[in-house]
């Protein structure tokens, strides 16, 4: 019987996440061209972009509970097929509805990658879950860097968004070939002998529900801002897509060195740090101009870098019997938050633009609105941090 090849499966998972990130990063640069070519409003583009998040959520809700039954390999196959279909449809899109449905397929593919690869990694590395999840999720911002640079340089040479989308077919075929024909491990829940009933019970525990609720806001802060930052700050005297690349590069580096940071502060301590820095970064972004914006973006990036992997890591460590279903619920709720954020932020931008009459001022005002989410998260994570510190002192 073939032995499970940990390194190969981990690297293939990272490449699949790069494709997910490429789709996210390039869409940030496609917003303005889509609005111009197809005569779409910001709110309409918000619905198109948000569809990727809805598709992601649907995939997580369906495949997360069934991952033990379907198997990790089958869910990855679904991701691969949906990526091919969605990217091809995008290349040949002709307006709102074709963009809407092609983006939905891409969202389903992205959600399938997350539904399969998170439990795959916790199964491959049961004693090093949080650090490996941070290392895996490093490739999301790293992929956005790659996608953002593709958009920036191909735009300079007059190569449009259709060809930029076609480039993403290359790594898609790559991860499909890497996964093909290899043995996958059992999920952690199955390996340790926990029942499905235990998993369901863990997913309605107070800590899990608290973290799931917070996931809505951490994801909306990270994904909502990053998806719109290129459009909101396009006239800041620095290319907006490069701001997205800069933010994502810092996030990737932060996740690369996450192991020592998590060990020093604890997962919950890192989340508290993240909420504070994200709020400060958003405020600085809203008042910065020119190249100073990159300094403000660096603060924001340090804040949001640890949100997603540490939300998953804290759940995996402190509610381990929630298993693949718990990770799927967290990821699905996260992208639900992102889905809600897209048209909401687009609508807020439209309202600010109508009121202020200036794109840059409207973008800054929209960013200040998001600060409200970070204030709530700071309070929530401070409560959790103090609660667990008190438990440690009592113990």
Domains and CATH numbers, the chain: 6-394 (1.20.1250.20)
The mean pLDDT of 70-82, rounded to a whole number, is 92
pLDDT score at 231: 63
Average pLDDT rounded to a whole number, residues 253-282: 86
Cα 185–chain centre separation:
25
Q: Provide mean pLDDT across the span 364-374.
A: 89
Cα–Cα dist 33/159, whole Å: 12
CA–CA distances in Å: residue 74 to residues 68, 69, 180: 11, 10, 10
Instruction: For residues 38 and 55, give the distance between their C-alpha atoms in angstroms, rounded to a whole number.
Output: 22
CA distance 228 to 280: 18
Q: What are residue 94's phi and psi, to 5 degrees?
A: -125, 5
d(CA 48, CA 98): 10
Residues 6+ apart with CB under 8 A from 216: 333, 334, 336, 337, 340
For residue 266, pLDDT beyond 60: yes
Instruction: For residue 395, name the pLDDT band (cuts at 50, 70, 90).
Output: very low
Contact 106, 53 (CB under 8 A): no
Which tens digit of pLDDT belongs to each residue from 211-239?
999 999 999 998 888 767 766 665 555 66
- pLDDT at residue 132, rounded to an integer: 85
> What's the pTM value of the predicted model, to 2 decimals?
0.76
Alpha-carbon gap, residue 131 to 133, rounded angstroms: 5
CA angle 82, 85, 88 (to 5 degrees): 140
Q: Picking from 30-34, 197-201, 234-238, which range would have the lowest pLDDT averaged per residue?
A: 234-238
Which of 26-30, 70-74, 127-131, 375-379 has maximum average pLDDT?
Answer: 375-379
Per-residue confidence (pLDDT) for residue 143, from 0 to 100? 87
Q: Give the model's pLDDT for residue 1.
A: 40
């Amino acid at each position: 019987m073939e032995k499970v090849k940990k390194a190969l499966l981990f690297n293939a998972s990272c490449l699949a996440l790069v494709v997910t990130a490429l789709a996210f990063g390039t869409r940030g640069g496609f917003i303005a061209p889509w609005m111009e070519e197809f005569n779409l409003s910001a709110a309409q583009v918000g619905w198109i972009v948000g569809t990727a998040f809805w598709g992601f959520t649907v995939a997580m809700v369906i495949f997360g509970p069934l991952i033990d039954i379907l198997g990790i390999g089958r869910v990855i196959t679904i991701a691969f097929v949906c990526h091919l279909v969605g990217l091809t449809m995008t290349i040949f899109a002709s307006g709102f509805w074709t963009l809407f449905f092609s983006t939905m397929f891409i969202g389903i593919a992205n959600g399938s990658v997350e539904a399969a690869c998170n439990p795959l990694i916790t199964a491959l590395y049961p004693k090093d879950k949080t650090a490996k999840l941070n290392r895996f999720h490093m490739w999301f911002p790293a992929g956005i860097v790659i996608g953002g640079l593709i958009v920036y340089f191909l735009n300079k040479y007059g190569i449009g968004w259709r060809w930029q989308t076609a480039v993403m077919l290359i790594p898609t075929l790559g991860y499909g070939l890497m996964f093909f024909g290899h043995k996958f491990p059992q999920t952690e829940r199955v390996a340790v002998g926990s029942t499905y009933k235990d998993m369901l019970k863990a997913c309605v525990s107070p800590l899990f529900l608290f973290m799931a609720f917070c996931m809505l806001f951490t994801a909306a802060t990270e994904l909502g801002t990053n998806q719109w930052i290129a459009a909101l700050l396009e006239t800041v005297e620095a290319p907006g897509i490069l701001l997205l690349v800069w933010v994502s590069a810092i996030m990737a580096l932060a996740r690369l060195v996450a192991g020592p940071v998590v060990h020093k502060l604890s997962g919950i301590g890192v989340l508290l740090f993240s909420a504070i820095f994200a709020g400060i970064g958003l405020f600085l972004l809203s008042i910065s101009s020119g190249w100073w914006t990159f300094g403000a973006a660096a603060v924001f990036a340090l804040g949001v870098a640890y949100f997603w992997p540490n939300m998953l890591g804290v759940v995996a460590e402190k509610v381990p019997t929630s298993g693949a279903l718990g990770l799927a619920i967290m990821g699905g709720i996260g992208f639900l938050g992102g889905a809600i954020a897209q048209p909401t932020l687009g609508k807020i931008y439209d309202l600010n633009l109508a009121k202020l009459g200036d794109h840059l001022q409207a973008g800054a005002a929209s960013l200040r609105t998001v600060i409200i989410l970070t204030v709530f998260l700071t309070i929530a994570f401070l409560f959790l941090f103090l609660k667990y510190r008190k438990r440690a002192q009592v113990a």
